Structure 1
C-alpha cells in the first residue's frame, strides 16, 4: 500500500484534484476581479497606484481588475485555460513586485502563490473536467 502511495508515478485522484484546484483558483481570482464594479474601491486602487508612481494609475487599476475577472471566469470554466493563466500571472507578479516589495516568502506570498498555481495549470492543462477538454480534447 505505502509503495503505491509514495510512488511519484502513481496519480491519486488526479483529474478531480486538477478540477478542484482550477475551479477554486478561478473563483478566487474572479472574486477579486469583481471589485471592478465598485467605484470607491477602484478610486482607492487608483490613488494607491498614484502613490506608487504607476503610469496612468486609473487605467492600470481597471486593467488589473479586468484581467483578474476575465481570467478568473475562464479558469473556473476551464476555457482557454493555458491562455487565461497569463493575465492572472502577470497581474499577480505586478502586485507582488510592483505594488508589493517582492517578499514572496512572506508579505507578498498571496499573489505569488497565484503565479505558481497559474504555472501549474499552464504546464498540466485544465484537466478532463473542463470546457477546453469538451471543445478541444480528443473525441
Structure 2
C-alpha cells in the first residue's frame, strides 16, 4: 500500500489526466452554459464586468464570447480534442475573471485562478493517452 502512495506510477498518469480533463471541462462548460442561459441581459452583465478596465461598449458581444469560450473550451478539454486550443480559451477567460475579482475576498478570485492554473497545466502537459488528440494525431 505504501509503495502505491509514495512511488511514481507512470501507468496512472494518463488516467489522472483523463479524470482531471473531465472535471475541468465539464465544470467550465457548465459555467459557460449558465451564462448562455441567462439570455441577452445576463450576457450583457458578464461583458459589463470589463467596464472597470476601460472597456466602454459591446458588452453583450463580450459576454457571449466569454460564454462561448467556456462552453467550447470545456468541451474540447473534456473530450481531449484540440486540448491545447481549448485550454487557451479557458486560460484567457479565467485570467480575466481572476483579474476582475482580485480586489475582492480570497474566495472571489481563488476559484477562477485555480481553474486557470489547471488549464495552464493541461496546456503544457497535454491531454494524455485517453484523448481524441492521441487517437487522431499520433
TM-score (norm 2): 0.82
In the TM superposition, residue 27 of structure 1 has moved relative to its aligned partner by 0.5
* Match of residue 2 from structure 2: 2
Alpha-carbon RMSD: 2.4
From 83, 88, 92, the counterpart of 1:81: 83
In the TM superposition, residue 50 of structure 1 has moved relative to its aligned partner by 4.3
In the TM superposition, residue 24 of structure 1 has moved relative to its aligned partner by 1.1
In the TM superposition, residue 36 of structure 1 has moved relative to its aligned partner by 1.7
TM-score (norm 1): 0.82
Q: What secondary structure, in the 3-state scheme, does the structure 1 residue paired with 2:108 have?
A: coil
* Match of residue 36 from structure 1: 36
In the TM superposition, residue 5 of structure 1 has moved relative to its aligned partner by 3.2
In the TM superposition, residue 82 of structure 1 has moved relative to its aligned partner by 1.2
* Match of residue 124 from structure 2: 123
- Structure 2 spans left out of the alignment, 5+ residues: none
Q: What secondary structure, in the 3-state scheme, does the structure 2 residue paired with 1:129 have?
A: coil
Distance 1:2 1:25, change over 3 A: same
From 46, 71, 74, the counterpart of 2:73: 71
In the TM superposition, residue 119 of structure 1 has moved relative to its aligned partner by 1.6
Asked if the contact 1:104–1:112 (Cα under 8 Å) also holds between the matched residues in 2, the reply is: no
Asked if the contact 1:19–1:130 (Cα under 8 Å) also holds between the matched residues in 2, the reply is: yes
- Structure 1 spans left out of the alignment, 5+ residues: none
Tell me how many residue pairs correspond in the alignment. 135
Q: What secondary structure, in the 3-state scheme, does the structure 1 residue paired with 2:130 have?
A: coil
In the TM superposition, residue 103 of structure 1 has moved relative to its aligned partner by 6.5
In the TM superposition, residue 108 of structure 1 has moved relative to its aligned partner by 0.1
Distance 1:26 1:104 in 2: 25
More helix by proportion, 1 or 2?
2
Distance 1:129 1:12, change over 3 A: closer
Distance 1:10 1:47, change over 3 A: closer
Distance 1:15 1:104 in 2: 35
Which shows bigger deviation, 102-111 or 23-32? 102-111
